[in-house]
Amino acid sequence: MTAPGKLDVHAHYLPETYRQALERSGHTQPDGMPAIPAWSAGEHVALMDRLGIATALLSVSTPGVHLDGGPPPSDLASAVNEAGRRAVVDHPGRFGLLGSLPMTDVDEAIAEIAYCTDELHVDGFVLLTNVGGTYLGDPAWEPVFDELDRRSARVLVHPTSPVCWEHTSLGRPRPMLEFLFDTTRAIVNLVLNGTVARHQDLRLIIPHVGAALPVVADRVAGFAIALGVDPSVDVVRDLAGLHYDLSGTPIPRQLDALLALTTIEHLHYGSDVPFTPELVADIARHQLDAAGDPPGSLVDALRANTERLFPRLTTTG
């Protein structure tokens, strides 16, 4: 009997409208990567078949819909969300969708949440760690988080380049180190500002095996006491309650560190294709397939976790 395929919470799509917007705004090497990867829905499905993925939740990656010199974020968000919905409809059971939001305008972001949920039937949303240097957890975005919480939304947090990347990346692609640090920075801000504690019905998925969070959690918790943050905040508790995808390099070291912070019930499979080359994604998936006691038990747990978080995928994947 063939085991059911993986449910991928971290997969990206680049519809033609978005590719053109990237090129016209000068993002031909997004975040220092060599090129914009090729993408089509049909090829993505073929890639999923090769990687043993049943269903993938599509999201727009960094730099998102906020492009200097590009279309208005609200227009681009609407365009990519509509394109994502077409991919879902055209390939039944193979795709879900995480909608993009124009975070530079709170009212427009809230309106897009409503449209995506009520009309496009998205499975959740994707938020970048920062937009122009404004980080998740900033008070200006509290109304957006209130609305996401009211709708019990599932949200994938995705890293992007910090505004100081020219000085900190040392000429290397930002996904190598800066993405991990920017994820850590944003999630720590969400926790210390009480955003996580206040929004109990919001489910956040943190990418790349928790970035640096497992190794800085106790240090941040100590500073939280010294800084006198709101007593409703418990750094380790709040981090442990988040969800984490295993895109990147979970084995042989990073996964062990994450499991010292949270439990296996909070983990999910993520491929990060097409930005992660197929060869690299295939190596990672074979490592995960062999993990656990008995071997294979980890991937079974990941699928069960994702089915609980996204019940619709139970019937489509």
Note the pLDDT tens digit of each residue in 13-39: 999 999 999 999 999 999 989 899 999
Query: What is the C-alpha end-to-end distance of the chain, expressed in Å?
Result: 16
For the entire predicted model, the pTM comes to: 0.96
Mean pLDDT value across residues 78-105 = 98
Q: What percent of the chain has pLDDT over 90?
A: 95
Residue 316 falls inside a structural domain:
no
Q: Which residue has the tokens 């910090």?
A: 162
- What is the reported pLDDT for 79? 98
Residue 58 falls inside a structural domain:
yes
Q: pLDDT tens across 221-234, in order? A: 999 999 999 999 99
Q: pLDDT tens across 267-303, in order? A: 999 999 999 999 999 999 999 999 999 999 999 999 9
**Three-state DSSP class for residue 124:** strand
**Three-state DSSP class for residue 5:** coil
CA–CA separation, 179 vs 279, rounded Å? 21
CATH of residue 192: 3.20.20.140
Q: What percent of the chain has pLDDT over 70?
A: 98
| Residue-number span of the structural domain to which 47 is assigned | 6-310
Taking all residues of the chain, what is their mean pLDDT, rounded to a whole number?
96
Over 60: is that where the pLDDT of 304 sits? Answer: yes
Over 70: is that where the pLDDT of 1 sits? Answer: no
Q: Is the distance from CB of 182 to CB of 151 less than 8 angstroms? A: no
Q: Is the distance from CB of 92 to CB of 54 less than 8 angstroms? A: no
Mean pLDDT value across residues 122-139 = 98
Over 90: is that where the pLDDT of 4 sits? Answer: no
Q: pLDDT tens across 163-185, in order? A: 999 999 999 999 999 999 999 99
* Exposed e or buried b per residue across 284-309, where buried means at least 16 C-beta atoms within 10 angstroms of its C-beta: bbebbeebeeeeeebbebbbebbbeb
* Phi, then psi, of 121 in degrees rounded to 5: 55, 45
Residue 124 falls inside a structural domain:
yes
Residue 317 falls inside a structural domain:
no
- The total number of structural domains in the chain stands at 1
Residue 139 falls inside a structural domain:
yes
Over 90: is that where the pLDDT of 313 sits? Answer: no
Angle at 62 (CA atoms; ends 56, 65), nearest 5 degrees: 100
CA–CA separation, 230 vs 72, rounded Å? 37
Residue 315 falls inside a structural domain:
no
CA–CA separation, 143 vs 200, rounded Å? 15
Q: Which residues contact 174 (CB under 8 A, 6 or more apart)?
A: 31, 32, 161, 165
